[in-house]
């Protein structure tokens, strides 16, 4: 299964009342299927929309094992950070949603491998359900400097 509404990833400068806020989509990922951008930046900070286990071609990985989903989510996060001009060593905070809190140790293991010595602030929240039947979603905030 793939995300059905695919558009070209683009940079969307804000033309409204706050010109210092820019939004963009990572060209390395499937475009958002809803009315949002992958990335919003303002005053040296990048806010990365919640990333789900969706492959760059739009394939949904919700039926895959938890660790596969977690690695895809973190790979998507890396793509967004790169598009914003930053990387995971500049993360300020990370919020993780999991549908089974029992998967938390597995996520923490994959997350630790991905981050290495970097230790941003972090929160985990249990969720009854995530979009597309996903088991994990991650939202992040990173410095641009």
Helix (H), strand (E) at residue 92: strand 91-98
Length of the chain: 145
Provide the β-strand partners of residue 6.
none
pTM (global) more than 0.75: yes
pLDDT digits (tens, 9 = 90+) for 29-65: 999 989 999 999 999 999 999 999 999 999 999 999 9
Residue 5 confidence (pLDDT) above 70: no
- Asked if 81 contacts 114 with a C-beta cutoff of 8 angstroms, the reply is no
Residue 13 confidence (pLDDT) above 60: no
Helix axes 66-84, 104-115, angle to 10 degrees: 40
């Amino acid at each position: 299964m793939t995300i059905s509404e695919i558009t070209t990833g683009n940079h969307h400068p804000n033309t409204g009342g706050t010109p210092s806020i820019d939004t963009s989509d990572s060209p390395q990922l499937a475009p958002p299927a809803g009315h949002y951008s992958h990335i919003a930046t303002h005053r040296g900070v990048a806010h990365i929309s919640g990333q789900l286990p969706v492959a760059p071609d739009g394939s949904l990985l919700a039926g895959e094992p938890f660790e596969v989903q977690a690695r895809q989510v973190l790979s998507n996060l890396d793509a967004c950070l790169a598009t914003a001009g930053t990387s995971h060593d500049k993360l300020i905070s990370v919020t993780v949603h999991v549908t089974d809190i029992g998967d938390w140790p597995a996520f923490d293991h994959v997350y630790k491998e991905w981050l290495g010595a970097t230790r941003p602030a972090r929160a985990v929240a249990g969720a009854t359900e995530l979009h597309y039947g996903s088991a994990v979603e991650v939202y992040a905030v990173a410095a641009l400097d």
